[in-house]
Amino acid sequence: MAYIIERKDRFYVVAYDGLDPLTGRERRRWHPAGRDRHDADAMAARIERDAAGSAPRRGGPVHLGEFLTDTWLPTKRRHVRASTSYRYTWMVDNYINPAIGHVPLRRLRADHLDGLYDQLATTGGRHGTGLAPKTVHEVHVIVRSSLDLAIRRQLVDGNVAHAANARHKRHTRTVPRSWTAAELASFLGSARRHRLYPALHLTACTGMRRGEVAGLKWSDLDPINQRLAISRTLQSIAGHPVEFPVKTRTSRRCIDLDDATMDVLARWRRRLSREGLAHGADDWMFLNTAGRFLNPESLSQLFDRLQRTMPDLTRIRFHDLRHTHASLLIMDGVPVKVVSERLGHANVAFTIHTYQHLLPGMSAAAAQQFAALLAAHAR
């Protein structure tokens, strides 16, 4: 994508140049285009053509799978994070190409896509029980985006994905699930004997995301002020740790820790020392038994395994520990602003929207409190 900017009687063409692999920020390249607007328009058009490229010179039809693997994926890798690129590749190789990758682009019809979406929604996935609507929607987005690129490269005349059946649409957002204080205490008590209990304890007591927990280093901990700095997130890409900036600007934050959590982390660091594992300032805070980084997915798997040993507990996701932390604080009267800052939400309105199901009871209590205050002064 390119656009034109005029500054001090001179025109510049600004072209989007993908994401910086280190910071995750957008890169934009400025091209001086002189003082003539027509020259700037011509340069912008040329840059757009170069970005889209031209139709491949080869005999025979171009198949969808071939186009996705050889053209669309390499193009997307310049514009998205490594984790997103890995997920796109996984979906192309495991969901799209086995089903309709053999279909020539010019013969692709909406019926092909409808059949793919139905199959994924009913029998797709590792266990053959169907994929979540959100995942099916992501597959549709990949196909739609690839066909848009095929149009720009003059391989097809239209995008049949726009005519596909809307069964792949996302479900409406549901209310987050959470535990009561008693349930959380019961879980933590039973999980205490597990080696990675400190990671679970820290998540429950801070509401951090799993990638944020896995991305912690000992230099992020301020033991004097009992604070933890959240500045990065860690993801596992093809078995290797890849650091990314936190999710949003406000996700970069400091979280105050309680005495018990500080004690848990101190004992964990001493355990790493006894095991002969790295525990210096620049080392990962949480390591597996082999001394390697902690895969965020392994945290979720551990959480699920522990839940299965506690049949009396309500089953929730690992991410719902974050909701549990926020819900318990709000129900105990902690200001929503404080909760929002601990979670790293972009604004308080989002926190209120997410946990508005907890607020009616609090509002009723506030009404009674105000009435009592007024009555006391009236006397």
Q: What is the domain-level CATH number for residue 303?
A: 1.10.443.10
pLDDT classification of 18: cutoffs 50, 70, 90: low
Average pLDDT over every residue of 69-88: 85
379 pLDDT above the threshold of 70:
no
pLDDT at 28 over 80: no
Are both 310 and 233 inside the same structural domain? Answer: yes
Same domain assignment for residues 25 and 108: no
User: What local confidence, expressed as pLDDT, does residue 168 receive?
Assistant: 47
Give the pLDDT score at 15.
78
For residues 249 and 302, state if they share a domain: yes
pLDDT tens digits for range 211-250: 999 999 999 999 999 999 999 988 877 677 777 777 677 7
Between 83 and 57, where is the model more confident?
Answer: 83
pLDDT, tens only, 189-213 = 999 999 999 999 999 999 999 999 9
Residues 294 and 263 in one domain: yes
Domain span including residue 30: 2-52
Lowest mean pLDDT among 13-27, 217-231, 347-361: 13-27
Q: What is the mean pLDDT of residues 50-56?
A: 54
pLDDT reported for residue 373? 82
Mean pLDDT is lowest, of 20-34, 170-184, 242-256, for 20-34
Where among 52, 73, 94 does a domain terminate? Answer: 52
Mean pLDDT confidence for 8-12: 81
Express each pLDDT in 103-127 by its tens digit. 999 999 999 999 999 999 888 887 7
What was the pLDDT predicted at 173? Answer: 52
Q: What does the pLDDT read at residue 29?
A: 75
In a domain, 368, yes or no: no
Top pLDDT among 69 and 12 is at 69
Within a domain: 360 = no
User: Domain check: are 157 and 278 in the same one?
Assistant: no
Residue 323 and residue 231 in one domain: yes
pLDDT of residue 34: 81
Separation between Cα atoms, residue 375 and residue 379, nearest integer Å: 6
- Looking at the structure, tell me whether residues 323 and 201 fall in a common domain: yes
pLDDT, averaged across the chain: 85
Same domain, yes or no: 140 and 209: no
Residue 174 lies in a domain: no
Q: Is residue 333 part of a domain?
A: no
Q: Are residues 188 and 320 in the same domain?
A: yes
Based on the fold, state whether residues 46 and 108 are members of the same structural domain.
no
The pLDDT score that the predictor gives to residue 310 is: 92
CATH number at residue 161: 1.10.150.130
Which pLDDT score, from 0 to 100, does residue 194 have?
95
How many domains does the chain divide into? Answer: 3
In this prediction, residue 235 carries a pLDDT of 84
What is residue 114's predicted lDDT score, i.e. its pLDDT? Answer: 92
pLDDT at 21 over 80: no
- Given 114, 138, 168, the domain boundary residue is 168
Q: Is residue 376 part of a domain?
A: no
Verify that 48 and 140 share a domain, yes or no: no
In a domain, 346, yes or no: no
In a domain? residue 59:
no
Same domain, 289 and 218: yes
- More confidently predicted of 359 and 305: 305
Res 41: pLDDT: 84
Domain's final residue, options 283, 300, 327: 327
Query: Is 196 among the domain residues?
Result: yes
Q: What is the pLDDT of residue 149?
A: 92
